[in-house]
Amino acid sequence: MSLAGKVAAITGSNSGIGLGIAETLAGLGAKVALNSFTDREEDHALAERLAREHGTEAIYVQADMSKGEECRAFVTRTAEHFGRLDILVNNAGIQHVAGIEEFPVEKWDAIIAINLSSAFHTTAAALPVMRKGGWGRIVNIASAHGLTASPFKSAYVSAKHGMVGLTKVAALETAEEPITCNAICPGYVLTPLVEAQIPDTMRKYGMDRETVIREVILERQPSKQFATIEQIGGIAAFLCSAAADQITGTTLSVDGGWTAL
Q: How many residues bind ligand NAD (CB under 6 A)?
A: 28
Residues 240 and 261: their CA atoms lie apart, in Å, by 29
37 binds ligand NAD (CB under 6 A): yes
Nearest CB to ligand NAD, comparing residues 1 and 45:
45
| Residue choice 82, 122, 174, 186 for contact with ligand NAD (CB under 6 A) | 186
Q: Which of 22, 1, 3, 4 is nearest to 13 (CA)?
A: 22
Residues 141-180 that bind ligand NAD (CB under 6 A): 141, 143
Q: Please give the residues from 217 up to 246 whose contact with ligand NAD meets the rule CB under 6 A.
A: none
What is the pattern of x (binds ligand NAD, CB under 6 A) and - over residues 114-143? xx-------------------------x-x
Question: Residue 127's Cα: distance from chain center in Å?
Answer: 18
Would you count residue 15 as binding ligand NAD (CB under 6 A)? yes
Contact 35, 83 (CB under 8 A): no
Beta strands across the sheet bearing 179-186: 58-62, 31-36, 7-10, 87-90, 136-141, 179-186, 251-254
- 175 versus 223: smaller Cβ distance to ligand NAD: 223
Alpha carbons 37 and 92: distance in angstroms, whole number: 10
188 has catalytic annotation: no
**Using rule CB under 6 A, residue 65 touches ligand NAD:** yes
Q: Does 207 bind ligand NAD (CB under 6 A)?
A: no
Q: Which is nearer to ligand NAD, 135 or 201 (CB)?
A: 201
Contact with ligand NAD (CB under 6 A) among 7, 126, 189, 240: 189
What is the closest distance, in whole angstroms, from the C-beta atom of residue 24 to ligand NAD in the complex?
A: 14
Please state the closest distance from residue 261 (CB atom) to ligand NAD, in A. 16
64 lies in the site for ligand NAD, by CB under 6 A: yes
Say whether residue 12 binds ligand NAD (CB under 6 A).
yes
* Nearest partner of 71 among 12, 130, 137, judged by Cα: 12
Positions 82 through 101 that interact with ligand NAD (CB under 6 A): 91-94
| Nearest distance, CB of residue 150 and ligand NAD, angstroms | 12
**Phi, psi values for residue 36, rounded to 5°:** -160, -175
Q: Indicate the residue among 129 and 141 with the shorter CB distance to ligand NAD.
A: 141
- Which residues have a catalytic role annotated? 156
Where does this chain bind ligand NAD (CB under 6 A)?
Answer: 12-18, 35-37, 64-66, 91-94, 114-115, 141, 143, 186, 188-189, 191-194
